[in-house]
Amino acid sequence: MAPVATFVANALDCAPQQIRPPRELDLVAVPACAATKVRRASPQDVRPLLELAQALIGGQLAAEDVVRTVAARHPDTLWTFVRDSRVVGGLAMLILNAAGLRALLTGTIDTHDPEEDFLATPAETPAAIYLWGFGQTSGSEGILNVFARLQSALYASANLYAVPVTANGLRFLKSWGFRSIAGHPRDLHEYVRLTNRLH
């Protein structure tokens, strides 16, 4: 007799594959006893975060001086994830104004060295948030913690955008309701905030 797994796989009337609907990023809640702590990145965090990003993501990343300049402009740009006093991940965002959103949608923004004129100041309500890069050595509670912070009034109407550069990144985005923007030259994905959806 064939092993059970083989027998089920060869059956003519297998049960249909279950497809899980995407979760809602705008409804995420931070676990009460999360092991990963999240803080705004300090200047001392920038280099370790870039080294970790290179290991987890690879490819061409923004230069350290660019990251420092963008992070100095807006305190919510760069977040550090810490577990047991060790940096285990981080998340970087470009917080865009209306001009930055237009440049992002047309593919004319240089995300490796964004123009200052495209970036919102802390005093402005952002038009959009571009997930510049994110990663964590294990789990995703740090990332979800930042997503929960983006539910605040200042950010609640700013749609989120990202370009997946790894297969895991693409799976993660799709699991949280990001959808590819058809025809975009860089495979830009968008998460439309609940407040912006037609009801």
- pLDDT of 158: 97
Q: Using CA atoms, how far apart are residues 198 and 1, in angstroms rounded to an integer?
A: 55
Q: What is the mean pLDDT of each run of 10 residues along the chain (199 residues)?
A: 27 46 84 83 92 82 92 94 89 96 97 96 96 80 89 96 89 92 95 88
List, in order, residues 6 or more apart from 152 with CB less than 8 Å away. none
- pLDDT of 178: 95
- pLDDT of 35: 82
Give Cα separations from 26 to 76, 134, 194, 199 (angstroms). 18, 18, 7, 16
Name the nearest CA neighbour of 77 among 64, 96, 97, 104.
Answer: 96
Question: Residue 40's beta-bridge partner residues?
Answer: 79
Half-sphere exposure of residue 33: CA atoms within 13 angstroms, side-chain side:
0
- What is the pTM (predicted TM-score) of this model? 0.84
- pLDDT of 112: 94
What fold is seen in the domain 31-196?
A: Aminopeptidase (3.40.630)
Secondary structure (3-state) at 63 = coil
Residue with tokens 């923007």: 181
